[in-house]
Structures are given as C-alpha cells and as structure tokens.
Amino acid sequence: MANILTAAEAANFVRTDTSDAVMLMLLPQVDAFVKKATGHDWAADSTIHQIAKAAAGMLLVQWYDNPSQIGPDTPLAFGLTNALSQLEAEAHKAEQIEQEH
C-alpha cells in the first residue's frame, strides 16, 4: 500500500535516509491521522494532492522530532492545522462532485 509520502519525500522532510526504520514506521500512522482529520484517504488517490503531502510532511517532522507527541491528541502547529482544514474542504468538494454525477 502506498503512503501519502514516498520514502524519498519523507526522508527529505526529516533529513534522513530512505531506509530509516522510525520514519518508515511513522508513514502509515501519518496517513491514518490525515485521513481521520480530513475524512478522505489521500494515500488512495491516483495523484496525491500537494497539500496532503505538505500536511503529511509537517506531521511527520513533528512526530519524528518529538515522539512524545505521536497520537490523536497531538497539539498541532498552526500551519498543519491550516493544511488539514484546506484538505477537509477539498474532500467535501470532491464528495459533492461525485454526488452530482
């Protein structure tokens, strides 16, 4: 299963190599958090929205740098909160378009 971020993209965000075990372990958790926060499975899209990649990257950095913040009650940085809000709006817009067809 693909993640929102590829290993190479994730490694660039946290400045590590693509085989970093901690980073690779966090990727599905980041996807699950973004999916729950926005109501859309961005990793399942054929082309992943750039804001989803940005939000996933911000969350990955936060959790990678401070593992004590991993989880659903994570206090979110302002930029991440804004990105998740934009993604939620995009998900609602896509849902409306689907319902119309």
pLDDT at 89 over 80: yes
Residue with tokens 């989880």: 71
Query: What are 37-72's pLDDT values in tens digits?
Result: 999 999 999 999 999 999 999 999 999 999 988 887
The radius of gyration of the chain from alpha carbons, rounded to an integer in Å, stands at 14
Mean pLDDT of all residues belonging to the chain: 93
Query: What are 3-43's pLDDT values in tens digits?
Result: 999 999 999 999 999 999 999 999 999 999 999 999 999 99
Which parts of the chain fold into alpha helices (H)? 7-14, 21-38, 50-65, 78-100
| pLDDT range class, residue 1, cuts 50, 70, 90 | low
Q: With both helix axes pointing from N to C terminus, report the angle between 7-14 and 50-65 in degrees, rounded to the nearest 10.
A: 50
Whole-number pLDDT of residue 97: 83
